[in-house]
Amino acid sequence: MQKKSLPILFVLFFSYAVAFSQTTVTLNASAAKTTINKNIYGHFAEHLGHCIYGGFYVGDTSKTIPNTDGVRNDIIDALKKLKIPNLRWPGGCFADTYHWKDGVGPKDKRPTIVNRWWGGVTEDNSFGTHNFLNMCELLGAEPYLTGNVGSGSPQEMADWVQYVNFEGKSPMSDWRKQNGREQPWKVKFWGIGNEAWGCGGNMRPEYYADEFRKFATFMTDWGNTGGMVRIASGASDADYHWTETLMKNIPVDMLGGLGVHHYSIIDWSKKSSATDFTEAQYFATMKSALQMDELVTKHAAIMDKYDPKKKVAMIVDEWGGWYDVEPGTNPGFLYQQNTMRDAMIAGVTLNIFNNHADRVRMANLAQCINVLQAVILTDKEKMILTPTYHVMEMYNVHQDATMIPVTVKTNFYTVGTEKLPAVSVSASKDAAGKTHLSLVNIDTKNTQTITVNVAGAQYNSVTGRILISSKLQNYNSFDEPNKITPAVFNSASLKANTLSVKLPPFSVVVLELN
């Protein structure tokens, strides 16, 4: 009896092991109803290091770099391909020391400013409101202006709104026309200060709530198309008291959006190298990145108490990986390389935002060029696209598509005694009826075998793209700009409306189902 039962036990054990090694995803296409706002895929451009000067802006006298009014043409082309929906400017911490009137009018008349937050460098204010808003028009992106609450006044903010949005005759609109812009730009998104709990003034939430109400009162819409969205300086990470206080003390009808800031970082006092990191450091960074789901969930629950109809958007207007600067660079410029680790951060974070599209309706990666988790790096006339750029380009199929709810039962990525979910997934259906599925495997060693069960839709074909490299620490350099680029993915098959996928270690895949 014992000899005969051994094969049966072996079969049962083998079957259990195979089942356990599978990741199962259920796609509930019939429950799709929430739009993934394209503004989730927004970016951030602060006067920090070489993001503006030497990044976007090379000056209109540049002889070696093709540009339009001083803005690099190659960057414009790359960001248009990315379908960048919005761009936040001028900060960041810089915003609460920036006085916008210093950056308009004849350039030779503009005063200089010392960037006290980032490197102590002197800037000449040659890149100002006209430059930024005209650049957004070139990009086809919505501008998101962050106003100065920390060292500014409600009058200064109201004047800025009138300058950029008012079509009729007024002191500010007349000044705009004198400076060469006849028609207003109709700016919709306005941040009322930045990080008011820190560099924006070290305010208490009760005090900032009153400041927000005061500033917002004097920010008249001026007939802006679609209505002005006034965005409050939101919480840092898990400061739920900040969110509770603002939601309780600011009327919902006055509050268009509420920010949240969270960086994927191991330790503020001891950051890792951007390229020379261990698996333990990678694991810790991904643990921080995946915390975004908990943060969004808990902040959203507080917002739901005061805004059950979800009128107020959660706006995660700073997110991304933060490491040590590259050796030999100015510590205040926050210049870091961008590896496959950053591709993992981008993939899982965007999946989280997609899956919370009912509340998260804007986000801004920090930052666009040459700063933190940049999508573009420049060196004089050279320009490279980072792995993060390629993830965001692959994911732009989700912009303004309808989110399809997913249920994921995943294996774990284990290091030592700690573990994280290995697979991250989000899905959507676009206006043409195509379904897109984005999948990330953060495991450094194990291929994930994934079974996707579809409910509420029928498919007959699947195609895909993958971002992958031979080493987690690999990156695109100015010598090897195309070391990491998307490729055709052939390890997905469809049979009887069940999708089977082999997802390699530390890879990002986007599938299209028809």
Catalytic residue flag (residue 318): yes
CA distances from 9 to 1, 13, 288, 352 (A): 12, 6, 41, 40
Closest to 337 measured CA to CA, from 297, 293, 300, 386: 386
CA gap 263, 322 in Å, rounded: 7
Which contacts of 69-75 are long-range, i.e. CB under 8 A and separated by 24 or more positions?
69/131, 69/134, 69/135, 70/126, 70/127, 70/131, 71/131, 71/135, 71/138, 72/378, 72/383, 74/383, 75/369, 75/376, 75/378, 75/383
Start-end of H helices in 42-153: 73-82, 129-139
- Give the active site residue among 142, 211, 318, 393: 318
Closest to 127 measured CA to CA, from 148, 142, 107: 107
Count the Cβ atoms, other than its own, within 10 Å of residue 482.
Answer: 8
Give the pairing type, strands 402-404 and 34-35. antiparallel
Output DSSP code: residue 148: -
Start-end of H helices in 238-335: 240-249, 279-306
The token duo for 446 is 């194990």
- Of all helices (H) and strands (E), which one includes residue 165? helix 154-165
Count the Cβ atoms, other than its own, within 10 Å of residue 409.
Answer: 12
Checking phi first, is residue 146 left (phi over 0); if not, alpha (psi -120 to 50) or beta? beta
Name residue 91's amino acid: G
Give the pairing type, strands 86-89 and 142-147. parallel
- Give the active site residue among 142, 195, 211, 393: 195
Known catalytic residues are: 195, 318
